Amino acid sequence: MPASLDNRLVVAISSRALFDFEQENQVFEDGDDRAYMDLQLKLLDQPAAHGVAFSLVQKLLDFNRGAQPLVEVVILSRNDPASGLRVFRSAQHYGLGIERGAFTRGASPWRYLRPLGAHLFLSANEADVRQALAAGVPAARVLPQAARASAAHPTELRIAFDGDAVLFSDESEQVFQRGGLQAFQDHEVEQAQTPLAAGPFKPLLDALHRLRASAEDTGMTLRTALVTARGSPAHERAIRTLMAWGVEIDEAFFLGGLTKGPFLREFEPDFFFDDQTGHVEGAAPHVPSGHVAAGVSNLVPVPPRNISGTSWPDPPESVRFQYQEGAEGADRS
């Protein structure tokens, strides 16, 4: 009987998101693909340092300590197969239970998210992230220079999400950009009883909700937070939306425009997701952070390609415009 990833939370991650390959990647960006491969082979027995998403992956894999495996992490990388040897060797050094990977030698790897059934894709490559989002897969561009996660909560996975254009659609953000703060507040009060449409990270939130319910014998717990620039009275619609979805959020921060970074520093997440580059860059000195290139704030003028021959559902309206035909980032991710 063939192996199956059914009933698991599946995370696809690039090598640069999991490990610190920034010095090696500079060789690739200088245009010498062969020198990059030779350098990785030369360093084969030297474990790579932790990357920005290392703690997230390590704790997710710790949920497999119970009777049944609950999480699958797969390397999905623009690295060449030979350089992939060091990726797997480094994972083994740290005791990460990763056995699957796809290495595409510079080609965009996002198409392989479909056969994996991925619930999350993390990469340092902007084009790959946009393509994944356009296909309906929760995805974020990690900031390799971001702070590493705190070691204060070894048996608790902590994840923080922005609201609009991440967990929720960007409907309200569009109102804000068209009419300003007062128009936004009036709209949210008027629509307080109407749940927001799902945003690009709703499938991940659902998968985490299922993981929480199945983790009793793993020794691991999950703690989530909503960290949003909304304030009262616009907070009510966000809370009622989560209640309507039947999804638990442990903490909620309605900051009314205050800087998110100091609050995230105190929450100590293993990862934070936001669609606003300013919020992500403000959080990065404090916590591992990723940019979700979705919604009106990340609008690009190129329409999505029609992905024929797939059975994927249409992506959320808030990210359908994100695909850029033929976009190839320069970095080795």
DSSP for 18-31, please give it.
HEE-HHHHHHHHTT
Give, to the nearest 10 degrees, the angle between helix 22-29 and helix 33-42.
Answer: 150
Determine which one of 162, 170, 274, 331 is catalytic.
Answer: 162
Q: How far apart are CA 28 and CA 36, in angstroms?
A: 5
Instruction: Using alpha carbons, select from 182, 164, 166 the residue that is nearest to residue 174.
Output: 164
Q: Nearest 5 degrees, angle CA 252-CA 124-CA 126?
A: 90
Q: Annotated catalytic, 20?
A: no
Give the three-class secondary structure for 55: helix
Contact 229, 257 (CB under 8 A): yes
Q: What is the spatial distance between Cα 29 and Cα 39, in angstroms, rounded to a whole number?
A: 13
Query: CA-CA distances (angstroms) from residue 257 to 199, 241, 252, 263, 273?
Result: 21, 21, 14, 12, 17
Active site residues: 162
